[in-house]
Structure 1
Amino acid sequence: MHYARNTWYVAAWTADLDMSKPTGLRILGERIVLFRTESGKLVALEDRCVHRLAPLSLGRCEGERLRCMYHGILFDSDGAVSEIPGQDVIPRDAKVRAYPVVDRHGWVWVWMGDPALAYEATIPATIGTDNPDYLMGHGFLDYDCAAHLISENLLDFSHIGYVHADSFPQGDQMAKTHADIRPIDQGIRYRRWVENLASDAAGFPAEPLDHYMEYDYVIPGILMMHIAGFPLGTAKSLEFGSPDLANAVRDLTFTGQAVTPIDEHTTRYFFCYGMHRDFGTEQMIEPMMQLVRKAFAEDKVMIEAQQKVIDETPDPRMIPTSHDRSITMYNRMLDKMIRDETERQAVA
């Protein structure tokens, strides 16, 4: 699989996990089991017992350990076997892989590469469901497609007026104008103004405002986006530069999204969306989530259909347009990261 490994992948929403029992999932084709110990420690292990390869996600949490419920073998949080019922001697290699794992911003992050390089400081500084300043809803979708197709969708918003013609009112403005796109560490920053937009964050008609959108998209597929409304004329007065979000007059929203490859053909797409408390109420969350769920379902239909055409095309050559600049920039960074990892492995 052509993916970066020395990076943090989103494995789950913390709020969706039943930490009283283990949870099985896959990232980059690898089976992983998550559980929380009695003391509260979050653990991620290879989801495969050393004995008969039964899934540990069907096991039982016992204090600080996890017991395989096929033949009762007990695993410590570092993956080492600590007990084999009916056997005193434990083989030295009776151990499964332990993955670095962190609970942050309402997401569970798992490091898929070299554990020695797993610095928590490199987890993107996003706004999550646990942020007290935002009223957030969250969810996820599973796509029958390669992860890079979802990333490319998120890196080129010229599709909004067409794929989301029934959901968002911008029309073809996103396709007829270009955003300011620049490289940042591990990704790209995308900035755009939409002038005289007469709708609110939930898609309902509202007083026209100039709307500003800014997002970072960073490896391995994390989007962090603010949108805010400003008085008409603000875009021009700032010469289409970046505003101070503290001066927003309506619809200061944030969305965090994460693209996690389950395997080569399946991807889990995590998302949260919410309004700053200064501009919204709890009652606004569900209408806003209905809008984004509808929009993401529209993306899913298109991208899964695209994947089928790619699979059926012997030479799936694509002709780029001027809107592909951010895709090209991001893919070059990702390809370089993968090449560097491959070279380090070859030297080792």
Structure 2
Amino acid sequence: MMREILGERVLLYRTKAGEAVAMSAICPHRAYPLEQGQRVGDAVQCGYHGFTFGPDGTCLRVPSQSGVPQKSSLRRYPVVETAGLVWVWTGDVDMASSAQLPDLAAMGLGRDDWAVEQHALVTINARYTLLIENLLDLSHVSFIHATTIPGGEMVASIPVSVEETAQSITVVRKGQNLPANPLIKMQFPGQEDPVNQDFDAEYISPALVRTGGAMSDAASGRPLGTQNYIHLITPASPTRVHYFVNTARDFAVNNPALGQMQIAMGTKIQPEDIAAIEAIELVLQSDATLPTEISARVDNGALKVRRRLEMQIKSEQATA
């Protein structure tokens, strides 16, 4: 399969041994799309003139001649597969390091004692920064998702604080003494009393934002469980982004029906976010005179993320 990543056409496939491969999806002979070719063993054969490339990108065969042209190898992208996710590095190969990957286990991924659902990929016709800011300001839940998230109307009024570390910036919302809504009752059968619920929005990198958090019985403080939503963000182009979501929970691990409910909710919630983000992108791309942007106190975390992201971009450019 081919996926556009940061303006690059990347071919993704697995070898017979199951190893994930990511390399350029454009044949250097006449720019034919390699996803329209075929796999031959662990190699890929171009469907136009039969040029064949190994999983390391090396040109192995040209049917019309005995040797291969100079500089005919494809770009191979460093790949790491962990916790059910494939990470592709499109930058300077010498800067690729698995040490830069986030602690996925801390969020519940790749663990036997957590249940994880992988939601279907969606592609949003908007710049990736709009998606990041949408995830960081969960007060939109009270409005965009007024009819799809039970109890969401209360989120905007929950006080906000910001926690900043070298690894992340978290917009913290701690809901206190909230009525047990239908979703809570489904997640924790028998829970009729009010709950405390964390509504975190944690920026870990431009590729990953975690939302959700711990839940407990409000009166006793008894832990109920933790629900995380792991938002995986892959910019395709300046105005298009691939969006993956994994949900992870440390309760009802052996209840697949609850997992299916999570996925069903996602199919209702995501289109509302996408519509809002794409509407903003259309305005930004229009010829309209934009008003001077204003921010509310709740935007403090998102503004901090903007500055950190700008610093991360400048730092990468300086080492390029």
TM-score normalised by the chain length of structure 1: 0.82
Q: Cα–Cα, structure 1 residues 332 and 122, in superposed 2: closer, same or farther, change >3 Å?
A: same
* Contact persistence 2:28–2:74 (CA under 8 A): yes
CA distance in 2, matches of 1:133, 1:70: 48
What does residue 63 of structure 2 align with?
A: 85
Look up the match of 2:203: 217
SS of 1:99's partner is: coil
SS at match of 2:56: coil
Counterpart in the other structure of 1:334:
309
Cα offset, 1:167, TM superposition: 1.9
* Matched-pair identity in %: 28
Alpha-carbon RMSD across the aligned residues, in angstroms, is 2.3
- Tell me the CA shift for residue 227 of structure 1: 2.5
Q: Is the 8 A contact 2:135 2:211 kept in 1?
A: no
Residues 1-348 of structure 1 correspond to what in structure 2 (within 5 A)?
23-126=1-104, 127=107, 130-139=110-119, 140-199=121-180, 202=183, 207=192, 208-233=194-219, 248-249=223-224, 251-278=225-252, 281-312=255-286, 313-315=288-290, 317-345=292-320
Shift of 1:299: 0.9
Give the whole-Å Cα distance in 1 for the aligned partners of 2:168 and 2:109: 23
Q: How far does residue 129 in structure 1 lie from its aligned partner after superposition?
A: 6.0
Structure 1 runs not aligned, ≥5 long? 1-22, 236-246
- Contact (CA 8 Å) 1:143, 1:267: kept in 2 or not? yes
Amino acid in structure 1 at the alignment position of 2:113: D
Deviations 1:261-297 (A, max 9, x none): 1112211110022432456611111122222321222
The residue identity in structure 2 corresponding to 1:120 is S
Partner of 1:112, secondary structure, is coil
Per-residue deviation at 1:97?
Answer: 1.0
- The TM-score, its normalising length taken from structure 2, stands at 0.89
Mean Cα deviation higher: 196-205 or 147-156: 196-205
Q: CA deviation at 1:304?
A: 1.3
Gaps (5+ residues) in structure 2? none
